Amino acid sequence: MLTIDDLKFNSHGLIPAIVVDATSKKVLTLAYMNRESLAISLEEKRTCFWSRSRQELWRKGETSGNVQHIRTIVADCDRDALMVTVDKEGPACHLGTDSCFNDPLFIGEGGEPFSVEGLYALLQGRKETLPEGSYTTYLFQKGLDKILKKVGEESTEVIIAGKAEDKRETVYEIADLMYHVMVLMVEMGISVEDVLAELASRHVIDHKVKQEKMV
């Protein structure tokens, strides 16, 4: 296990800290720590940085409430950069977004890779702008009862396809179900992180139960 003395701080006494969401694995922000802020982070188990603009210590969430609880801190191979894995409360960016990394500089031929988070953001956009002719707009305009009805219908389709042992059809129907469930999530203000955090909490419980049984 490393200590602070094993790390290489730059000429300004700082080390970059890449903050990653423990649940979604998304990069949240890049900040800097000095020896004092890193020591505070280790002691309090929540992120504390050095503000280069204000030249002072900066505990994340001190004024906004968007605290980041530290899971792990890992140094890179040269020991001159840190990856800080956190459980976050609220958005990481001061602009109110989940991550500070939102503005594309380059997108290759394949475009941005598909992600559940990307689909969720798209659905949020549909709910906010309600573009004409969009099926998603239709669902949001019809409201919760219609969305719930579609979730029920798609669940039945998954069961039918699964019972028939038709893998291709089951995959197709599961995709339909996931889409409609995510529409429901947006309608109810449930984030992807909310669901992943719930799954993660169950994983921890299962792990503890397994350990107890082994003992």
Give tens-digit pLDDT for 145-167: 999 999 999 999 999 999 999 99
Dist. CA 73–CA 39, nearest whole Å:
12
Q: Could you tell me which residue, 192 or 109, shows the higher pLDDT?
A: 192
pLDDT exceeds cutoff 90 at 3 = yes
183: amino acid identity, one letter: V
Q: Which domain holds residue 170?
A: 116-214
> Do 139 and 203 fall within a single domain?
yes
* Residue (of 65, 60, 118) closest to 84 by Cα position: 60
Q: Could you tell me which residue, 138 or 215, shows the higher pLDDT?
A: 138
> Do 81 and 133 fall within a single domain?
no
The whole-number pLDDT of residue 209 equals 53
Percent of the chain whose pLDDT exceeds 90: 70
Question: What digits encode the pLDDT tens for the residues 25-64?
Answer: 889 999 999 999 999 999 999 999 999 999 999 999 988 9
> Do 73 and 124 fall within a single domain?
no
Dist. CA 202–CA 186, nearest whole Å:
23
CATH code of residue 17:
3.10.20.810
> Do 52 and 121 fall within a single domain?
no
* Residue (of 32, 24, 2, 8) closest to 85 by Cα position: 24
Dist. CA 30–CA 101, nearest whole Å:
9
Number of structural domains (the chain) is 2
pLDDT exceeds cutoff 80 at 112 = no
pLDDT exceeds cutoff 80 at 214 = no
> Do 121 and 82 fall within a single domain?
no
Specify the DSSP element, H or E, that contains 168. helix 167-188
> Do 121 and 170 fall within a single domain?
yes
Query: What is the chain's mean pLDDT, rounded?
Result: 91
The whole-number pLDDT of residue 158 equals 98
Residue 187 lies in a domain: yes
